[in-house]
Amino acid sequence: MEIKEFEGKQPRFELEKFFSGRLEGWGYTVSRFNALQNQFKIVADGKWNLSRRTLTLKETYTFDDGHKDVLNWTIVKQSPSSYEGLEDRIDGTAKGEQAGNAFHWDKRDVPDKDGKSSTIGFDDWFWLQEPGVMVAHASMMKLGIEVARLSAFYRKL
């Protein structure tokens, strides 16, 4: 899938607008053999700073096994369609592109339950379905092989 395939699709997804304010979400992860691995709830709160072109976003994932994972993102809008994201526990910079109703984070690492960065990479896609409703899909890769898929659904509050 290529981001350019979504040019002109509506409604237009603007990361900084969608993730500004409070959101809630739900999701699940399945293994490469389609076994349910976990389910989770998401609470997110974001703030867009127009003068700095920066979104600060805190996402708290609560998994069905009881553990929580908190991601604190700093996302900088580089151009009308490109973004860079930093998260305290993730090495490197996530690169993002937007077109039409879609947003794509290129591969990035993900934190483990113990707080360390994992060798599992995420290839994330987000699609705005209607104003205030977004779905996400991620392929989780290890050594170039998809080991799991994640689906999540977000709603602005």
pLDDT for the residue numbered 114: 61
Per the DSSP assignment, residues forming a β-bridge with 38 are 29
CATH number, domain with residue 113: 2.40.128.20
Question: What is the distance between the alpha carbons of residues 35 and 31, in angstroms, rounded to a whole number?
Answer: 5
Q: Which residues of the chain have pLDDT under 50?
A: none
Over the stretch 126-144, which tens digit does the pLDDT of each residue have? 999 999 999 999 998 888 8
- 107 is in which domain, residue-wise? 3-156
What is the number of structural domains in the chain? 1
Q: For the chain, what's the residue count?
A: 157
Burial class (CB in 10 A: 0-12, 13-18, 19+), 77: buried
pTM of the model: 0.88
Kindly calculate the radius of gyration of the chain based on its CA atoms and give it in whole angstroms. Answer: 15
Question: What is the distance between the alpha carbons of residues 132 and 85, in angstroms, rounded to a whole number?
Answer: 22
